Chains A and B, each alone.
Chain A
């Protein structure tokens, strides 16, 4: 039956149909997951190894495992089918029917095998691994302005295609302006270009745009896509990369300055290792550039630090591979790359380079990434010395705290008996009922009617009562007079408990301790109604009731008071603090003892079993704790007597009972257990001796001052050389626990060859890596970047899979052109601007986007460039264009608008982060918050910034329309645009319409269009609600909204 089904699956892919592909897709993963754990390694189980085809055919102790082509005769098949007697493999659940079907088919196919693990890469001659060579420029007739056109034309001729006519000047300047600076041309710029009839007119436009600081904002953003740039970590713990923006600004400046690309690569991979330029600014710039290596999304809360480190290195290698070489090197982490000549050994050779690099300060949970301090050496030293001083204060505080805690807990340990009795009383205390309806309430006060206090008078539920800028403790005091002394029940109405409740003092004495906060809740649901605080004694005349909380005063609506409702003569239940006071013990430690007893609840293993079960019927011999021995034959006459017995025994232990006595050891454990009842309580400090408390407070104040005085310098994310330079072993199957042979740090052998100059034992090798990447013989780096530049101009690369030049990527549609461009790129001194000039001066670039039915039939995707592909603008230019035409765009040159501190959580567990995405600056300067991105970015295909992505989508989805209809940026700026149009000194509304067209679409409106617009304005006027103000503005805003929502506005011809 399974075979039948399998046949239906066949469609999967070419990869699955080739024998090797079938093995790679269906069999190798199965071996790795289910078999190689035992049948891999140096000493495979039963002598059978599944690592190579040869080993498999040879078999193990039981003989050959597979007879190629004959499943029925193959021992392996019998073992997995469970038809080989007791030999059933793998241990545990039988393989699934599908897996069995795959294995059967594979054996039938003759057990084909892919590239064996550990085998050397066949360097092959895949085109991308062969360095580009200068080809002859094809001779084509009559068309074109530069060699690009000849290469393009040659391909067009091959397919019988003909190039489109030249674009008109308006289309051309609009195209070029969006292309180079990501904003629309102004009507003046269009006018000037139209007026310029010189042959250099377009060249001048290009030069003007290349010289604009806006150019780097556009092309830098392209680079940020492949640098997987973001302003937060995102992956698990979303911490702010507050200083990531410096890298972003560095990139923008690099493009503006036309920094040679080879230098750009060197700086990003090894800026810290370049020879000292003697100029501090240059040094800082280079350090900042290494942010490239640090910006990735990381698992910052990984309990296994070794795994965390290898995962971070993996991210770096994967990014470098894709970004610079268009290779998925990361695939070789667990197994030899199945398609490209990258063995696992080469992966760990590269990994060694990054293992020898310091990206992180630590691998704790939550881990801390390294940042460069951008300050001169003497300042950095000063900073270090200052931080050492802070640490010194911490130590001093720790010393006192430790001594005081010790005092506190030692005293408690000498009063175990009292703690037991007190805890018992607390646990026996019955909860009070709310005053019955009709109880005679003596006093009822609004919460806000306090007589003294430092909390806000007017508050809402779920809002803190603390006025801004206040300092705890926070309190409210109520003077309440009663006619006679006695017990009174006090109640609060609608008290919020989630964030902790207040302490209650009467006459200056604490009578009730507040409760702690509930985890992950700002305020619990309103309980609603009255709830008793307790029954307390008040004196005749005025009493001061004070509610106090250390840092957050909980909301309540009212307070009321009535005579104790308990029957006369009944003692009011005491609160925990009152009980502690009665027994002369510490309330917080008592609380811990209560908690301990709640948990243990008379458990048989507890040393307190006898006390906890006093008076209860328990089976004889149930007490399993060694402490039971100490109570053999002891019959307590009362709970107090039993407590005394415990007291005596614990005192013996405290005073040094001999070690090695099991029963006493059990007692000692209760006293010393890390989280036992006699640990130092969290609020221990409140109980310190006055002098110690003052001293700690003083030291803390000093520390605070010191911290506040920490010299602040700009910081940048980035890497430096590691503390240790080291080679790494191969991690078998990617596991950091399962290590193989150590491999030297070196570069990909398929490109650099077997005989590489060994890397120094004194440096990581990053600089050498960068130099190797940009060496003139490297087959990939220049091609990949030239292709990216082409892609960003035309919307489609010559190699369409612009991040993958490997066998699984797509092949170039015009390799001679790509190679020619790559070589020209190197010859130009790796100048990106030179490439722009070259490409934009071609007839290919200057073609119109006009449709041609015959060409469309042949090449619908326009992969050979028979016309200029019409393109949807990306997220950023769309937003920038809206702001630009409204006149509201504020130009800035870099900087960060994030209000968070470095390493702060940007989107935490209780709410999403607050970022002002409506700020009227260019989108490139808006933060990219991973896993909580700006919705407009998400809607318009900003790539997931966790992996390099040089080929953005241009989807058409409904959320984009919703943004154009309802987005706050659109609403604000269409209004602004309306106001702008109305403020212009123009003759009439017709002129306004024409101006709007020029602004938004860079062309004049036709007469029909003006009429249509005026009709529309009139209809809106009638439709507007009678009470609407600013009718003209609203009318025109509707017009602007409609205009900016058109296809023409966001599609570039």
Chain B
């Protein structure tokens, strides 16, 4: 399949076009400039959206495991009142575990900001930014297991391997930075779908998320695959490449024009440049002490996630289209809700608040869409004595910047937060809305594969226009 991509190389192309084909995301700025006039053959060339965009790029803060909505942002006074009583209506037909009576939140909720948004004591730092946030309280998904729900959140499908949302976005818009991949995912999960959560599936390879590190690798040690060479000094490596290129050019004189051979010559130059540019991803030494402190890099509790958030800002600032950071598989509190949700929140709260403040201070927040989400929520009913089960029927995500209405709380759940009831928003709707904010119509962003036009939203999705500023 993927003839579309293959055919780049098979068709008769000018040398310049070939260079663009070869760049696949790691071209140089100069090269991009040189080629800009010639249109779209470089898969990561900036493409015009369908209509004027409110957001230019996305930072996705992924809370793997399923944070509890009723313990974070979805305040339910009746849950406290009726603690210990049975849920007064039917539970979902298919659940991952048995749950019992209602369990009140161990945390106090307070109202913050002009908008008066309710936030629990778990997120004191984020709470200070509620007037920049747009909460969707009525999220729902279809799958009650991590694997299915992760894939649904990232790709829209819990049944098949499909391109991830970051791939669709990069496919639709290209990337503003031609020295880095257009879609970067920092320390991504290896479980619950693993790379399928950031793969491009049938979209061309340059749209796949480039992993920087992996779960289990501290953010400070995270690297792009094959980017490091501890054996070969850089000057020697340059000489090796020059020699290779000389041989390649000589061969070309015998073969006649050949798109792939010429493209490959350029790919080495791009790789070499990228290798030089990459360390800058990790090198946070240029950041001020105040910034480092703000992200919590001075505290072992917040250091790792803080570093991820700071890297995300640096990448976004440099025009990387879609950046994902992952707080990996920590939020799954079937037990020890109090202790562990608290520990999790402590690790992310300050870095997230710092990211929001930093983006705002730099004037980036207005066209950067920040999304905070887990793969599902949790039941208001108790699993065991101190836990909550998965709940895809209701959960909260929030968005910030990028043209969403700040200080809004959209949709609602029932009295206890078990089901989304009012203005329900499915993953497909969230995807459609995200694309819309980026200037793309989810119905028109299609890719022909196996004889069918595919979309991120498949045959679903409605733009939630009410949350758009």
Which residue of the partner chain A has the closest CB to B255? A851
- Whether A911 pairs with B151 at a CB distance below 8 angstroms is no
For chain B residues 196-245, which have a beta carbon within 8 Å of chain A? Answer: 196, 199, 201, 204-206, 214-217, 224-229, 231-233, 235-237, 239-241, 243-244
Find chain B residues with CB under 8 A from A1020 CB.
236, 239
Knowing A908-B191, A962-B271, A1020-B236, the reply to whether A518 touches B339 (Cβ < 8 A) is yes
Find chain A residues with CB under 8 A from B241 CB.
965, 1042, 1045
Say whether A603 faces chain B, with CB atoms less than 8 Å apart.
Answer: yes
Say which residue of A32, A301, A596, A808 sits within 8 Å of B145 (CB atoms).
A301
Most-contacted residue by chain B among A677, A861, A958, A962 (CB, 10 A) = A958
Say whether B451 faces chain A, with CB atoms less than 8 Å apart.
Answer: yes
Segment from A65-73, A229-237, A279-287 that makes contact with B: A229-237
- Whether B256 pairs with A954 at a CB distance below 8 angstroms is no
Say which residue of B82, B100, B224, B237 sits within 8 Å of A675 (CB atoms).
B100
Q: Map CB proximity to B onto A739-758 as digits: 1 under 8 Å, 0 otherwise.
A: 00000000000000000000
Say which residue of B83, B94, B235 sits within 8 Å of A304 (CB atoms).
B94
Knowing A311-B159, A860-B12, the reply to whether A1016 touches B444 (Cβ < 8 A) is no
- Whether A962 pairs with B274 at a CB distance below 8 angstroms is yes
Q: How far is the CA of A395 from the CA of B270 in the complex (A)?
A: 65
Which residue of the partner chain A has the closest CB to B265? A1047
- Whether A949 pairs with B340 at a CB distance below 8 angstroms is no
Q: Map CB proximity to B onto A108-127 as digits: 1 under 8 Å, 0 otherwise.
A: 00000000000000000000
Minimum CB–CB distance for B300 against chain A, Å:
4
Interface size on A, residues (CB 8 A): 131
- Whether A951 pairs with B462 at a CB distance below 8 angstroms is no
Knowing A234-B196, A302-B145, A963-B226, the reply to whether A526 touches B261 (Cβ < 8 A) is no
Say whether A959 faces chain B, with CB atoms less than 8 Å apart.
Answer: yes
Say which residue of B5, B26, B94 sits within 8 Å of A958 (CB atoms).
B26
Say which residue of B251, B260, B339 sits within 8 Å of A1046 (CB atoms).
B251
For chain B residues 363-403, which have a beta carbon within 8 Å of chain A? Answer: 382-386
- Whether B460 pairs with A1047 at a CB distance below 8 angstroms is no
Find chain A residues with CB under 8 A from B246 CB.
1012
- Whether B233 pairs with A1025 at a CB distance below 8 angstroms is yes
Segment from A196-204, A381-389, A649-657, A796-804 that makes contact with B: A796-804
Find chain B residues with CB under 8 A from A989 CB.
none
Knowing A301-B145, A955-B204, A958-B271, the reply to whether A931 touches B104 (Cβ < 8 A) is no
Which residue of the partner chain B has the closest CB to A603? B83
Q: How far is the CA of A30 from the CA of B2 in the complex (A)?
A: 28
- Whether B243 pairs with A808 at a CB distance below 8 angstroms is no
For chain A residues 352-404, which have a beta carbon within 8 Å of chain B? Answer: 365
Which residue of the partner chain B has the closest CB to A935? B225
- Whether B192 pairs with A909 at a CB distance below 8 angstroms is yes
Say which residue of B65, B150, B158, B237 sits within 8 Å of A965 (CB atoms).
B237
Minimum CB–CB distance for B108 against chain A, Å:
11
Say whether B90 faces chain A, with CB atoms less than 8 Å apart.
Answer: no
Q: How far is the CA of A850 from the CA of B257 in the complex (A)?
A: 10
- Whether B84 pairs with A600 at a CB distance below 8 angstroms is yes
- Whether B147 pairs with A957 at a CB distance below 8 angstroms is no
- Whether A525 pairs with B227 at a CB distance below 8 angstroms is no
Find chain B residues with CB under 8 A from A801 CB.
1, 3
Minimum CB–CB distance for A774 against chain B, Å:
25
- Whether A954 pairs with B260 at a CB distance below 8 angstroms is yes
- Whether B196 pairs with A931 at a CB distance below 8 angstroms is yes
Q: Map CB proximity to A onto B101-120 as digits: 1 under 8 Å, 0 otherwise.
A: 00110100000000000000
- Whether A946 pairs with B161 at a CB distance below 8 angstroms is yes
Segment from A9-17, A418-426, A466-474 that makes contact with B: A9-17
Segment from B32-40, B165-173, B285-293, B330-338 that makes contact with A: B330-338
Say which residue of B12, B150, B236, B460 sits within 8 Å of A1038 (CB atoms).
B236
Most-contacted residue by chain A among B22, B147, B229 (CB, 10 A) = B147
Say whether B190 faces chain A, with CB atoms less than 8 Å apart.
Answer: yes
- Whether A299 pairs with B158 at a CB distance below 8 angstroms is yes
For chain B residues 1-55, which have a beta carbon within 8 Å of chain A? Answer: 1-3, 5-7, 9-12, 21-26
Say which residue of B106, B267, B332, B452 sits within 8 Å of A598 (CB atoms).
B106
Say whether B264 faces chain A, with CB atoms less than 8 Å apart.
Answer: yes
Minimum CB–CB distance for B236 against chain A, Å:
6
For chain B residues 105-164, which have a beta carbon within 8 Å of chain A? Answer: 106, 143-148, 150-151, 158-161
Knowing A301-B147, A603-B83, the reply to whether A674 touches B333 (Cβ < 8 A) is no
- Whether A956 pairs with B444 at a CB distance below 8 angstroms is no
Q: How far is the CA of A872 from the CA of B196 in the complex (A)?
A: 26
- Whether B82 pairs with A605 at a CB distance below 8 angstroms is yes
For chain B residues 430-469, which have a beta carbon within 8 Å of chain A? Answer: 441, 443-444, 446, 448, 450-453, 459-460, 462-463
Majority-rule SS of A interface residues: loop
Say whether A690 faces chain B, with CB atoms less than 8 Å apart.
Answer: no
Q: How far is the CA of A931 from the CA of B248 in the complex (A)?
A: 34
For chain A residues 170-219, which have a beta carbon within 8 Å of chain B? Answer: none
Q: Map CB proximity to A onto B81-101 as digits: 1 under 8 Å, 0 otherwise.
A: 111110000000011101010
Minimum CB–CB distance for A940 against chain B, Å:
10
Say whether B361 faces chain A, with CB atoms less than 8 Å apart.
Answer: no
Find chain A residues with CB under 8 A from B191 CB.
237-238, 905, 907-909
For chain A residues 986-1016, which have a beta carbon within 8 Å of chain B? Answer: 1009, 1012, 1016
- Whether A1042 pairs with B240 at a CB distance below 8 angstroms is yes
Knowing A860-B12, A870-B260, the reply to whether A595 touches B5 (Cβ < 8 A) is no
Knowing A911-B215, A953-B2, A1047-B251, the reply to whether A518 touches B226 (Cβ < 8 A) is no
Knowing A520-B330, A931-B193, A1047-B261, the reply to whether A1023 touches B104 (Cβ < 8 A) is no
Find chain B residues with CB under 8 A from A674 CB.
98, 100
- Whether B263 pairs with A956 at a CB distance below 8 angstroms is yes
Q: How far is the CA of A962 from the CA of B232 in the complex (A)?
A: 13
- Whether A800 pairs with B385 at a CB distance below 8 angstroms is no
Most-contacted residue by chain B among A13, A521, A603 (CB, 10 A) = A603
Say whether B194 faces chain A, with CB atoms less than 8 Å apart.
Answer: yes
Say whether B195 faces chain A, with CB atoms less than 8 Å apart.
Answer: yes
Say whether A894 faces chain B, with CB atoms less than 8 Å apart.
Answer: no
Find chain B residues with CB under 8 A from A714 CB.
none
Q: Map CB proximity to B onto A942-956 as digits: 1 under 8 Å, 0 otherwise.
A: 001011010101111
Find chain B residues with CB under 8 A from A1047 CB.
248, 251, 261, 264-265
- Whether A520 pairs with B274 at a CB distance below 8 angstroms is no
Minimum CB–CB distance for B281 against chain A, Å:
15
Minimum CB–CB distance for A870 against chain B, Å:
6
Which residue of the partner chain B has the closest CB to A947? B161
- Whether B239 pairs with A1019 at a CB distance below 8 angstroms is yes
Find chain B residues with CB under 8 A from A605 CB.
82-85
Find chain B residues with CB under 8 A from A1019 CB.
239
Knowing A238-B194, A526-B300, A908-B191, the reply to whether A1023 touches B235 (Cβ < 8 A) is yes
Find chain B residues with CB under 8 A from A1043 CB.
244, 247
For chain A residues 28-53, which have a beta carbon within 8 Å of chain B? Answer: 29-30, 32-33
Most-contacted residue by chain B among A237, A521, A962 (CB, 10 A) = A962
Find chain B residues with CB under 8 A from A850 CB.
256
Q: How far is the CA of A972 from the CA of B142 in the complex (A)?
A: 48
- Whether B462 pairs with A93 at a CB distance below 8 angstroms is yes
Q: How far is the CA of A1043 from the CA of B237 in the complex (A)?
A: 13
- Whether B226 pairs with A965 at a CB distance below 8 angstroms is yes
- Whether B215 pairs with A910 at a CB distance below 8 angstroms is yes
Which residue of the partner chain B has the closest CB to A498? B343
Extra A-B contacts (4), CB below 8 Å, given A600-B83, A935-B225, A956-B263: A955-B205, A961-B272, A965-B275, A1045-B268
- Can you give 27 A-B contacts (C-beta < 8 A)? A235-B147, A300-B147, A365-B96, A516-B336, A595-B385, A603-B104, A606-B84, A674-B98, A674-B100, A860-B11, A861-B10, A909-B192, A931-B193, A935-B226, A946-B160, A955-B24, A956-B264, A959-B271, A961-B268, A965-B275, A1020-B239, A1039-B243, A1042-B241, A1045-B241, A1046-B248, A1047-B248, A1047-B265
Q: Which 7 A-B pairs have the closest CB atoms?
A: A236-B147, A808-B451, A851-B256, A911-B216, A931-B194, A961-B271, A907-B190
